Protein backbone atom coordinates (compact mmCIF):
# COMPACT_ATOMS: atom_id res chain seq x y z
CA UNK A 1 0.00 0.00 0.00
CA UNK A 2 1.64 3.24 -1.12
CA UNK A 3 0.98 6.59 0.53
CA UNK A 4 -0.88 9.26 -1.37
CA UNK A 5 1.49 11.64 -3.14
CA UNK A 6 1.45 15.17 -1.71
CA UNK A 7 -1.40 17.23 -3.14
CA UNK A 8 -3.43 14.23 -4.29
CA UNK A 9 -6.42 12.66 -2.62
CA UNK A 10 -8.02 13.43 0.70
CA UNK A 11 -5.33 13.05 3.35
CA UNK A 12 -7.88 13.58 6.14
CA UNK A 13 -9.85 10.59 4.93
CA UNK A 14 -6.64 8.61 4.41
CA UNK A 15 -5.76 9.08 8.07
CA UNK A 16 -9.21 7.86 9.12
CA UNK A 17 -8.87 4.73 6.94
CA UNK A 18 -5.33 3.96 8.09
CA UNK A 19 -6.34 4.29 11.75
CA UNK A 20 -9.25 1.89 11.18
CA UNK A 21 -7.10 -0.60 9.29
CA UNK A 22 -4.65 -0.74 12.20
CA UNK A 23 -7.37 -1.93 14.59
CA UNK A 24 -6.56 -5.47 13.44
CA UNK A 25 -3.07 -5.33 14.94
CA UNK A 26 0.20 -6.82 13.80
CA UNK A 27 -0.83 -10.47 14.18
CA UNK A 28 -3.94 -10.05 12.00
CA UNK A 29 -2.36 -7.80 9.37
CA UNK A 30 1.08 -9.36 9.15
CA UNK A 31 4.24 -7.50 10.09
CA UNK A 32 4.96 -5.94 6.70
CA UNK A 33 1.48 -4.45 6.17
CA UNK A 34 1.18 -3.44 9.83
CA UNK A 35 4.46 -1.50 9.83
CA UNK A 36 3.70 0.12 6.48
CA UNK A 37 0.33 1.30 7.79
CA UNK A 38 2.02 2.64 10.94
CA UNK A 39 4.52 4.49 8.75
CA UNK A 40 1.69 6.01 6.70
CA UNK A 41 -0.20 6.94 9.86
CA UNK A 42 2.90 8.60 11.31
CA UNK A 43 3.47 10.52 8.07
CA UNK A 44 -0.12 11.78 8.02
CA UNK A 45 -0.20 12.68 11.73
CA UNK A 46 3.04 14.63 11.36
CA UNK A 47 1.72 16.43 8.28
CA UNK A 48 -1.24 17.71 10.35
CA UNK A 49 0.91 18.55 13.39
CA UNK A 50 -0.68 15.91 15.63
CA UNK A 51 2.37 15.57 17.89
CA UNK A 52 0.71 13.55 20.66
CA UNK A 53 -0.82 10.99 18.29
CA UNK A 54 2.35 10.87 16.17
CA UNK A 55 4.39 10.18 19.31
CA UNK A 56 2.26 7.18 20.16
CA UNK A 57 2.35 5.94 16.56
CA UNK A 58 6.15 6.35 16.50
CA UNK A 59 6.41 4.32 19.71
CA UNK A 60 4.33 1.54 18.15
CA UNK A 61 6.45 1.62 15.00
CA UNK A 62 9.69 1.38 16.99
CA UNK A 63 8.30 -1.63 18.92
CA UNK A 64 7.15 -3.45 15.77
CA UNK A 65 8.99 -6.62 14.78
CA UNK A 66 10.36 -5.02 11.62
CA UNK A 67 10.47 -1.36 10.58
CA UNK A 68 10.34 -0.23 6.96
CA UNK A 69 13.53 1.61 5.99
CA UNK A 70 11.39 4.59 5.02
CA UNK A 71 10.39 5.01 8.69
CA UNK A 72 13.77 6.37 9.84
CA UNK A 73 13.36 9.86 8.32
CA UNK A 74 9.85 10.12 9.77
CA UNK A 75 11.11 9.17 13.22
CA UNK A 76 13.67 11.99 12.91
CA UNK A 77 10.89 14.45 11.98
CA UNK A 78 8.92 13.17 14.98
CA UNK A 79 11.88 13.81 17.30
CA UNK A 80 12.09 17.40 16.04
CA UNK A 81 8.32 17.88 16.45
CA UNK A 82 8.55 16.64 20.05
CA UNK A 83 11.42 19.07 20.70
CA UNK A 84 9.37 21.93 19.25
CA UNK A 85 6.37 20.99 21.38
CA UNK A 86 8.56 20.75 24.49
CA UNK A 87 10.10 24.17 23.79
CA UNK A 88 7.07 26.01 25.14
CA UNK A 89 6.57 27.88 21.86
CA UNK A 90 3.00 27.87 20.50
CA UNK A 91 2.35 25.51 17.60
CA UNK A 92 -0.62 25.08 15.28
CA UNK A 93 -2.43 22.01 14.04
CA UNK A 94 -4.98 21.88 11.24
CA UNK A 95 -8.38 20.28 11.59
CA UNK A 96 -11.16 19.29 9.23
CA UNK A 97 -14.61 18.18 10.31
CA UNK A 98 -14.93 15.00 8.26
CA UNK A 99 -15.56 12.19 10.74
CA UNK A 100 -18.98 10.78 11.47
CA UNK A 101 -20.69 12.39 14.41
CA UNK A 102 -21.60 9.55 16.74
CA UNK A 103 -24.28 11.08 18.99
CA UNK A 104 -26.58 14.05 19.47
CA UNK A 105 -25.94 15.39 15.98
CA UNK A 106 -28.37 16.53 13.29
CA UNK A 107 -27.96 15.14 9.78
CA UNK A 108 -25.06 16.72 7.88
CA UNK A 109 -23.03 17.28 11.02
CA UNK A 110 -19.47 16.00 11.20
CA UNK A 111 -16.76 15.92 13.84
CA UNK A 112 -13.01 16.32 14.27
CA UNK A 113 -11.18 14.83 17.24
CA UNK A 114 -7.85 16.00 18.59
CA UNK A 115 -5.78 15.14 21.65
CA UNK A 116 -3.88 18.26 22.75
CA UNK A 117 -0.49 18.15 24.46
CA UNK A 118 -1.00 21.42 26.28
CA UNK A 119 -3.73 22.81 28.49
CA UNK A 120 -4.54 26.02 26.53
CA UNK A 121 -5.76 25.93 22.93
CA UNK A 122 -6.91 28.77 20.67
CA UNK A 123 -9.33 28.22 17.79
CA UNK A 124 -8.51 30.28 14.69
CA UNK A 125 -8.97 30.43 10.93
CA UNK A 126 -12.39 28.79 11.11
CA UNK A 127 -13.79 28.25 7.61
CA UNK A 128 -17.29 26.86 7.96
CA UNK A 129 -19.65 26.27 10.88
CA UNK A 130 -18.74 24.97 14.33
CA UNK A 131 -21.73 24.05 16.49
CA UNK A 132 -19.90 23.03 19.67
CA UNK A 133 -16.70 21.70 21.17
CA UNK A 134 -16.51 19.03 23.84
CA UNK A 135 -13.53 18.28 26.06
CA UNK A 136 -13.83 14.63 27.13
CA UNK A 137 -11.19 14.17 29.80
CA UNK A 138 -10.20 11.45 32.26
CA UNK A 139 -11.94 13.21 35.14
CA UNK A 140 -14.33 15.73 33.55
CA UNK A 141 -16.40 16.56 30.49
CA UNK A 142 -17.10 20.10 29.33
CA UNK A 143 -19.02 21.36 26.32
CA UNK A 144 -19.27 24.85 24.86
CA UNK A 145 -19.19 26.98 21.75
CA UNK A 146 -16.24 28.66 20.09
CA UNK A 147 -15.58 31.24 17.42
CA UNK A 148 -12.44 32.55 15.76
CA UNK A 149 -10.00 33.59 18.50
CA UNK A 150 -11.66 31.67 21.34
CA UNK A 151 -9.13 30.32 23.87
CA UNK A 152 -9.91 27.31 26.05
CA UNK A 153 -7.85 26.40 29.10
CA UNK A 154 -8.34 22.85 30.33
CA UNK A 155 -7.59 22.41 34.05
CA UNK A 156 -4.71 20.00 34.72
CA UNK A 157 -6.89 18.24 37.31
CA UNK A 158 -9.09 16.97 34.46
CA UNK A 159 -6.33 14.66 33.17
CA UNK A 160 -5.75 13.62 29.56
CA UNK A 161 -8.38 15.00 27.15
CA UNK A 162 -9.79 14.55 23.68
CA UNK A 163 -11.41 17.57 22.04
CA UNK A 164 -14.34 16.85 19.73
CA UNK A 165 -15.36 19.70 17.44
CA UNK A 166 -18.79 19.31 15.79
CA UNK A 167 -20.26 21.32 12.94
CA UNK A 168 -20.81 21.27 9.20
CA UNK A 169 -18.93 18.65 7.21
CA UNK A 170 -15.80 20.06 5.58
CA UNK A 171 -15.28 22.89 8.08
CA UNK A 172 -11.58 23.74 8.41
CA UNK A 173 -9.90 25.23 11.45
CA UNK A 174 -6.56 25.94 13.02
CA UNK A 175 -5.94 25.10 16.65
CA UNK A 176 -2.95 26.73 18.34
CA UNK A 177 -1.56 25.01 21.41
CA UNK A 178 -0.09 27.61 23.75
Within 10 angstroms of residue 5's Cβ, the number of other Cβ atoms is 7
**Residue spans of beta strands (DSSP E) within 10-53:** none
Query: Above 90 in pLDDT, residue 43?
Result: yes
Tell me, what's the pLDDT at 93?
92
Q: Is the pLDDT of residue 80 over 90?
A: yes
Helix (H, G, I), strand (E, B) or coil at 50: coil
pTM: 0.78
Per-residue pLDDT at 68: 79
| C-beta neighbour count of 52 within 10 angstroms | 19
Note the pLDDT of residue 103: 60
**What are the residue boundaries of the structural domains of the chain, listed by start?**
11-86, 91-177
- Collapsing DSSP to helix, strand or coil, 95 comes out as strand
Containing 142, the helix (H) or strand (E) segment is strand 141-144
Q: How confident is the model at residue 8 (pLDDT cuts 50, 70, 90)?
A: very low
**Pair 163, 121: CB distance under 8 Å:** yes
Q: Does domain 91-177 have CATH number 3.40.50?
A: no
Residue 151 bridge partners (DSSP): 122
Please give the C-alpha separations between residue 73 and each of 81, 132, 141, 174, in angstroms, as whole numbers.
12, 38, 38, 26
- The pLDDT value recorded for residue 101 is 64
Provide the pLDDT for residue 18.
Answer: 92
DSSP three-state, residue 7: coil
Q: What is the mean pLDDT of the chain?
A: 89
Q: How many residues does the chain have?
A: 178
Is the pLDDT at 7 greater than 60? The verdict is no
Run of H or E including 17: helix 11-21
**Is residue 131 very low, low, confident or very high in pLDDT (cuts 50, 70, 90)?**
very high
Q: What is the reported pLDDT for 98?
A: 83
Amino acid sequence: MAPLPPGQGDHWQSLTYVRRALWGGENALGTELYTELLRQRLQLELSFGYVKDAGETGDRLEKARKQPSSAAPLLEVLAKAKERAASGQPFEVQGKLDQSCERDCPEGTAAWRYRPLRRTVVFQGIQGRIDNVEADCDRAISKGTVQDGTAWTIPASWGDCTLTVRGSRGTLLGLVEE
